[in-house]
Chain A
């Protein structure tokens, strides 16, 4: 029996009706919306950021770094949207020499290394392979890094280095088969059209051969039914469902099959996490065993209310957000108003793929005047749930603590 404060929205139609009520009783503190908003406060020291509509093929984005571009998606742009619009999808490049022009007639995807025959594929060659489609969340390894405590250096993302799209393309396995993987090969290394400064290591990432050939890892030729924006990897990028974005190499143009381990900097040194169950260590810890970052973990986000929300006392209000299961599907999203002592199920929107976002929503009513805190916790189909406790690691990776918002009823 749910408590009086929570009415899981039973269906979409009722939820939309209640959204009108909820919207009316929100009296400020909401997320910045619309083109008029020039600034956004991401809720941490130094988190006041400019919004800019100046980036090519992009709408209003939070500019974290101009060169190489780091553009964050405002959470308001994801509100009610299981699929993040292409023109609001976050952008993250490592090196400043990024592709700004692509001629599809001369573009080639080259496959070499431990293969039976090296091949150079045109986009038309790729388009002739069996077509697959998958909804999958693309999340930066360092998403929410700025919320780490103590703070760590690096790109100071809020929660918006994340997006979900319907990716359409071809299986990496089918592409590898055109070259014929050599017997005994171990890893598949991928890289794109971006270039390092002189002497710096090429940005390249590797997957174990079995993973690369699992039939889920794919090369996207389209995103939400349209060509990829240049800043998101036009013409093609790798899609690694359930894994962090660092593996989703943009403007993919090289595949190299390796007989052994990849000792390149970007696999051997960068994007390493503590080899602990939750990727956390004591703040300040050093010299612990590490592994390459890999599968994502469950998360739930609020999208229609800010971290500090004001509501009208004794009036119902509507909250919603998005959840992801990480390496498996979203099983449930639960809400708590007593710091996790009791949890109550939110209503889930349609399942549009185990690796994608799933909308959650609830109507919360009758709060007496005062201050409250509302928590949202995602549990995935493997039974893995978010924790109330934050992890810490020096890279600022894999933050997935249960999100909460302060609610003041007056």
Chain B
């Protein structure tokens, strides 16, 4: 690890013929920053499965997270949906899960792998 102590840098700069060679830039450089995220482009198909998943999944993440998963069995999708509900408190009830799992399986069967 290279260590540069700021005070040493300042002293060096004060007596050096090349004062513009600091080891590390001081942090007066922090500026207010704001960014704008791009508009979302990913969308679910206008199908019953797409509608179900729009209701239950995309409040928390964009639909491309669904469509880019590898082929998953219903059991694997079930485990994922349960994890979303239990670990991440997704606003879905256990009673909704069969319909969500079925919609995910349908979506994977109808969208080409991307």
Q: Measuring CB to CB, which residues of chain A are less than 8 angstroms from any residue of chain B?
A: 45-46, 48-49, 52, 54-57, 63-69, 95-96, 100-105, 123-124, 126-128, 130-134, 146, 151-153, 155-156, 168, 196-201, 215-216, 221-222, 225, 227, 230-231, 234-235, 265, 269-270, 353
Contacts and interface: CB of A to CB of B under 8 A. Distances in A.
Interface in B1-55: 1-6, 9, 23-38, 40-42
Contacts of A222: 24-25, 27, 29
B26 to A, nearest CB: 6
Nearest to A227: B29
B42 A153 contact: no
A160 to B, nearest CB: 15
A67 B70 contact: no
Given A67-B62, A96-B60, A225-B25, A101 B4 contact: no
Given A46-B68, A46-B70, A153-B70, A127 B26 contact: yes
B70 A65 contact: no
Contacts of B65: 65, 155
B36 to A, nearest CB: 6
Given A197-B89, A199-B89, A227-B29, A67 B113 contact: no
A257 B100 CA distance: 41
B72 A123 contact: no
B88 A200 contact: yes
Summarize B's interface: helix, strand, loop or mixed. Answer: loop
Contacts of A132: 1-4
A46 B36 contact: no
Contacts of A100: 34-37
A67 B40 contact: yes
Contacts of A231: 35
Contacts, number: 140
A152 B79 CA distance: 12
Contacts of A64: 64, 68
A136 B7 CA distance: 25
Given A56-B35, A67-B61, 17 more contacts: A55-B38, A56-B36, A56-B38, A65-B64, A66-B41, A69-B37, A96-B61, A102-B32, A102-B34, A131-B9, A133-B24, A153-B76, A197-B90, A199-B89, A222-B27, A227-B31, A230-B35
B80 interface: yes
Contact of A131 (B6, B30, B37, B71): B6
B110 interface: no
B38 A54 contact: yes
Contacts of A225: 25
Contacts of B35: 56-57, 100-101, 230-231
Most buried by A among B35, B72, B113: B35
A270 B86 CA distance: 13
Contacts of B64: 63-66
Contacts of B23: 131, 133
A95 to B, nearest CB: 8
Contact of B70 (A45, A123, A216, A353): A45
B42 A134 contact: no
Contacts of A235: 30, 33
A197 B3 contact: no
Interface in B86-109: 87-90
Interface string B58-86: 01111011001111100010001000000
Contact of A101 (B26, B29, B33): B33
Given A55-B38, A130-B3, A234 B70 contact: no
A96 B76 CA distance: 24
A216 B1 contact: yes
A131 B25 CA distance: 10
Contacts of A131: 3-6, 9, 23-24
Contacts of A196: 88
A173 to B, nearest CB: 12
A131 B2 CA distance: 9
